[in-house]
Amino acid sequence: MFELAVETDRRWAEGALEHLGELLLEHAHLERKAAANALQLMFRYPEHAFLQAPLSALAREELEHFEAVLRVMEARGIQFAAIRPGSYAGRLLQVARTSEPGQLLDRLLCAAVIEGRSCERLKLLAGALERAGDDELSGFYRGLVQSEARHYRDYVEFARRIFGADAVRVRLPEICAHEAEVLAAIPGEARMHSGRLAAADDGVERCGG
Ligand SMILES: [Fe+2]
Ligand SMILES: [Fe+2]
């Protein structure tokens, strides 16, 4: 189901958990950004009427995730604050064409890939948290994994409905290949979307989508 071109090194999660406060703060920002992106698509493409209700629901769900992360942060004494934005999404979106209709196809598929990558990383975090004995946060992340997998499928389905399955079959692997290059160029720091990719034969658990 997922077509990510590269998998994350499973040791990424252990490294990320060493900076749990920063990770939670960044996660809160990412959920907020996911909501904003869904809203942007809603406003930018009113001619695709069928997109309006599901994008609205998706944006609302991302804001619920945002609020849930804020509650986790509050319970752990972590303040919400501005952060230096990561470069992942911006670099990924450089692959998007600048004229329509290609731009919409690319934006939908980039959104799908971001959801798919988030899903993979949240699942790795849930596993690492479980091993570290933090069942509360592990359970929280396991719950989010299912939502992000659904969001991946939703964005791919939006693209198929507008552009057809063949167009998606051609373009999605190209965007995934670009995403792999973007990740490889980002330092392996404690970021939700940093580098640190698995070797080809490192059988990392894939996100169930
Ligand atoms: Fe989310
Ligand atoms: Fe999402």
Tell whether the model's pLDDT for residue 55 goes beyond 60. yes
pLDDT tens digits for range 77-102: 999 999 988 889 999 999 999 999 99
Q: How far is the CA of 65 from the centre of ligand 1 (A)?
A: 5
pLDDT at 203: 43
| Half-sphere exposure at residue 203, Cβ-oriented, CA atoms within 13 angstroms | 0
Six-digit token string for 66: 């945002």
Q: How far is the CA of 123 from the centre of ligand 1 (A)?
A: 13
The CATH classification number of 11-82+101-185 equals 1.20.1260.10
Whole-model pTM: value is: 0.92
Per domain, the residue ranges of the chain are 11-82+101-185
Q: How far is the CA of 39 from the centre of ligand 2 (A)?
A: 13
Question: Whose atoms come closest to the Cα of 38: which ligand?
Answer: 2
**In the predicted model, what is the mean pLDDT of the chain?**
91
Pick the range with the lowest mean pLDDT from 104-108, 167-171, 193-197.
Answer: 193-197
User: Is 174:162 a contact under the CB 8 Å cutoff?
Assistant: no
Q: How far is the CA of 199 from the centre of ligand 1 (A)?
A: 27
Q: What value does the mean pLDDT take over residues 194-203?
A: 61
Could you tell me the CA-to-CA distances from 134 to 123, 126, 128, 138 in Å, in that order? 14, 9, 9, 6
Q: How far is the CA of 34 from the centre of ligand 1 (A)?
A: 7
Q: How far is the CA of 66 from the centre of ligand 1 (A)?
A: 7
Q: What value does the mean pLDDT take over residues 6-19?
A: 88
